[in-house]
A and B are shown apart, each in its own frame.
Chain A
Amino acid sequence: MLEQYAPILMLLAAVMGFALFNIGLSELVGRRRRAVGKEAAYECGMGSYGTNARLRLSIHFYLVAVLFILFDVEVLLLVPWAVAAKGFGEAGVGMHVFGCVAAFLIVLEVGLAYVWAKGGLTWDR
């Protein structure tokens, strides 16, 4: 099984080599001239406002990230079922297993509906 992954390791080496070579080459041969204000962060021609661009931002990004984790876990828990669904059908327990999965899906759908109803999916700010 591990030998299936050896080509990926080789490809990784090739890809990293390509990326490093390109970045290195352009850093070596690219010309450099320093000038006043050249290295300031771009801000539509004005001087940069404040010294730091690391702002505090909308809580909504946090909400999206947490919801993503929850649904990611959900998808991952469903993957084994998706692979074995045919086999379950052939073994004669398809409906029983699907009932369990449907319960799982409906519970999550209720959760999503709750978040929706509470305005968690509306990007208002």
Chain B
Amino acid sequence: MTVTLVTLLKILVIYGGLINVAALMTLAERKVSAWMQFRIGPNRVGPWGVLQPLADGVKFIFKEEFTPEGANKFLFRIAPMLSAVPAMLTVAVLPLAGDIAIPKLGTFDLPFFGPTELGGITTNLSITDLDISVLFVLAVSGLSIYGIILGGWASNSKYSLLGALRASAQMISYELTLMLSLLSIVVMTGSLDLREIATSQATIGQWHIWTQPLAFILFVVATFAETNRHPFDFAECEPELVGGFHTEYSSMKFALFFMGEYCAMAVMSGLTVTFFLGGFGVPFWPDAPWFVELPAFLAKTAFFLFLFIWVRWTLPRFRFDQLMGLSWKWLLNLALFNLFLTGLASALGWF
């Protein structure tokens, strides 16, 4: 009983937190871009405009919704869901902190269950821990491609279709780099469990950013492409494709595509931290309690979220053939080479 309640609580906190991070990211994006261009950014709704995402949400709900002529109505409706659900589902295996001991809370008389003893267990701050969580993340995040491809196709608009095709070709190309760079981490840790990967980097010197610098760079580049972010945002590059795959979407359906994208960014940043920056580990404090580990994890993740925005307002956009060439000609070969070297080092017993 306690376990179920704790799981529900964790889902509420972590998933709710993820949604809030995604909402705040839309604000952060506007604020940071404003600062970078000597503007002020949203400042009317609440102090520093912090309530802006809420106002946007209300506005999205009341916006008119329409389906373009000749669109496949069923697919047009479910595509935003197909895009958002996998992105949000991957947060399930992200380890946010170490053990939390819940003290015995006593016996409670619950409706339907009768007197139940609550508390007295030790749990982890992650919704669940799988033996193969690395594969889970890869498999589930790979499914989010369907939302984009079907949304673009169902709209019956040329911009949407082209945007969707470009986005999906790009996502599958960079997924290979993503997987191969992760494999070298798996070779070093010998586990597919994210929590084990995080805890194996106990001290700052063991962080995989030092032992696997090439994999780190490849992974970060691939996450930018996987989440369709600048400089790889070919799904929605305004000068060429208007809005890309969501040109025809409005109101909450449009918002769901965006929520999915920002959630994917948050989870990818969390994964980068877990794989390369010691996860929830606190530098120079090996046995930190969970309420220190959680802020440490969030701070590291926040840096990568900031990086997403920073890069967007700094770099120019690629051209599509350059993007595909970069992935297949350079990143894939580099990732294979890195895996080869890591395997050799492992066989020689260097770690």
Contact = CB atoms under 8 A, between A and B. Distances in A.
Interface of A: 1, 4-8, 10-12, 14-16, 18-20, 22-23, 25-27, 29-33, 38-44, 51-55, 57, 61, 64-65, 67-68, 71-72, 75, 78-79, 81-89, 94-95, 97-98, 101-102, 105, 108-109, 112, 116, 121-124
Interface string B245-288: 00110011101100000000000000000000000000000000
B220 interface: no
A19 B252 CA distance: 9
Contacts of B329: 116, 121
B336 A98 contact: no
Given A12-B89, A19-B256, 4 more contacts: A30-B251, A54-B156, A68-B173, A89-B349
A42 B11 CA distance: 40
A122 B70 CA distance: 35
Interface string B305-333: 00000000000000011001100110011
Contacts of A88: 347
A91 B131 CA distance: 22
B85 A7 contact: no
14 contacts: A11-B91, A22-B252, A23-B81, A32-B65, A42-B157, A68-B175, A82-B184, A83-B192, A84-B190, A85-B187, A89-B349, A102-B340, A105-B339, A112-B328
B165 interface: yes
A53 B165 CA distance: 13
B176 interface: yes
Interface stretch (B29-37, B56-64, B107-115): B56-64
A98 B247 contact: no
Contacts of A29: 61-62
Interface string B327-351: 0110011001001100110111100
B77 A23 contact: yes
Contacts of A61: 165, 169
A115 B165 CA distance: 22
Contacts of B346: 85-86, 89, 94, 98
A81 B161 CA distance: 39
Nearest to A68: B172
A71 B62 CA distance: 45
B61 A53 contact: no
Given A30-B251, A42-B247, A61-B169, A53 B89 contact: no
Nearest to B66: A39
Interface stretch (B46-54, B122-130, B203-211): B122-130
A38 B15 contact: no
B83 to A, nearest CB: 9
Contacts of A97: 347
Given A41-B157, A75-B180, A30 B61 contact: yes
B191 A83 contact: yes
Nearest to B263: A15
B300 interface: no
A61 B135 CA distance: 26
A101 B343 contact: yes
Contacts of B64: 30-33
Given A11-B11, A19-B80, A53 B161 contact: yes
A39 B68 contact: yes
A41 B156 contact: yes
Nearest to B3: A3
B188 to A, nearest CB: 8
Contacts of B160: 41, 53
Contacts of B253: 23, 26
Contacts of A41: 68-70, 155-158, 160, 248
Nearest to A115: B328
B125 to A, nearest CB: 13
B332 A71 contact: yes
Given A82-B187, A94-B347, A39 B158 contact: no
B212 interface: no
B69 A39 contact: yes
Interface in B149-173: 153, 155-161, 165, 169, 172-173
Nearest to B135: A79
Contacts of B157: 41-43, 53
A4 B130 contact: yes
Contacts of A89: 346-347, 349
A101 B333 CA distance: 16
